[in-house]
Amino acid sequence: MPAPQLDITHRLEFSAAHRLHDPALGDEANRQLYGPCNNPNGHGHNYEVEVTVRGEVPPSGMIVDLNVLALIMDEEIFAQVDHKHLNCDVPFLEGLVTTAENLCVAFWQRVQPRILALGGCRLLRVRVYECKNSYADYHGPQL
């Protein structure tokens, strides 16, 4: 019988400020597009991020050591964004409109090489909650 395949997820929370603003558009167009989220001084969110990896269960019983997954997420995500202004204080978000969608893709790009290096599992999904009831999912580039 082949080894069963499962998905394992770790979640973290962080708090940060951001402003939805596209420098390619004028101020009025930004106000119309993003509404209150375009507030010049930004606003805050309590974000949650989930990283899910998929793999077959090896003899150790662990697809991934959850302590290792937590460490990767702490280093690549939490330490970079917690209590920061996402538009100004996070180099890897420079030039992006800081929506949950774009955060998902940026976080994927940071954690994916480290998950790959672990062996035995692959990154399946990055989920970003901008608030309790709204989230975005990214499953990686469609090849």
How many Å apart are CA 127 and CA 60, to the nearest integer?
27
Least distance to Ni ion, CB of residue 119, Å: 37
| 109 dihedral zone (left: phi>0; alpha: psi -120 to 50; beta) | alpha
Question: Are 135 and 105 in contact, with CB atoms under 8 Å apart?
Answer: no
Annotation marks residue 10 as catalytic: no
Catalytic residue among 10, 18, 21, 37: 37
Annotation marks residue 83 as catalytic: yes
Shorter beta-carbon distance to Ni ion: residue 37 or 81: 37
Annotation marks residue 45 as catalytic: no
Between β-strands 5-18 and 43-56, what pairing exists: parallel, antiparallel or unpaired? Answer: antiparallel
Least distance to Ni ion, CB of residue 78, Å: 19
Q: Considering only residues 8-37, where is the footprint of Ni ion by CB under 5 A?
A: 37
Shorter beta-carbon distance to Ni ion: residue 9 or 46: 46
Q: Which residues bind Ni ion (CB under 5 A)?
A: 37
